């Protein structure tokens, strides 16, 4: 983990223990991965590795690198899933640790479950096995988009 304090009661901080098979990339500041309970195929979380609450809690280095990481992860998820829309959402109420949920939205998602309502698909569309199958392809696509800025999982 990056030089930071791990908050034992923070769900997002606990993801530092995620198996590498769930991780798209990790660098000293950011991690992108599948998250238990949000394991819908094409859904990933981009989270600060240091416990930071809200975007206002990010330091200058985290803030400067967030947009590039988010852009490259959204591009990778979109390419692998072929989704006509990929959302990047930031809430932080349930898990007050800065993170963004990236959700691929395919054509079959009904119009009343699009935009912010896509979160209603969480329970009905969770499929840990199918979600895990996408990780290697998203990892490769992410490395392609990030180029020299790609990071190995073990960072």
Segment 48-78, tens digit of pLDDT: 999 999 999 999 999 999 999 999 999 999 9
> Do the bridges between strand 23-26 and strand 99-105 make them parallel or antiparallel, or are there none, so unpaired?
unpaired
The whole-model pTM stands at: 0.86
Comparing CA positions, the residue from 151, 5, 37, 143 lying closest to residue 80 is 143
Q: Is the dihedral of CA 55, 56, 57, 58 positive or negative?
A: positive
Per-residue pLDDT at 124 = 77
Comparing CA positions, the residue from 90, 28, 31, 88 lying closest to residue 61 is 28
Tens-digit pLDDT profile for residues 81-130: 999 999 899 987 777 899 999 988 777 766 766 566 666 666 777 889 99
């Amino acid at each position: 983990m990056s030089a930071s304090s791990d908050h034992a009661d923070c769900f997002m901080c606990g993801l530092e223990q995620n198996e590498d098979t769930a991780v798209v990339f990790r660098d000293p500041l950011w991690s992108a991965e599948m998250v238990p309970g949000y394991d819908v195929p094409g859904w990933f979380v981009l989270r600060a590795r240091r416990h930071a609450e809200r975007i206002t809690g990010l330091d200058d280095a985290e803030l400067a690198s967030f947009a590039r990481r988010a852009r490259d992860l959204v591009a990778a998820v979109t390419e692998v899933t072929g989704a006509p829309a990929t959302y990047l959402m930031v809430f932080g109420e349930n898990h007050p640790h800065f993170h963004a949920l990236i959700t691929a939205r395919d054509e079959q998602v009904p119009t009343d479950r699009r935009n912010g309502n896509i979160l209603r698909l969480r329970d009905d569309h969770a499929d840990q096995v199918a979600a895990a199958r996408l990780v290697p392809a998203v990892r490769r696509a992410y490395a392609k988009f990030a180029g020299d800025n790609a990071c190995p999982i073990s960072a």
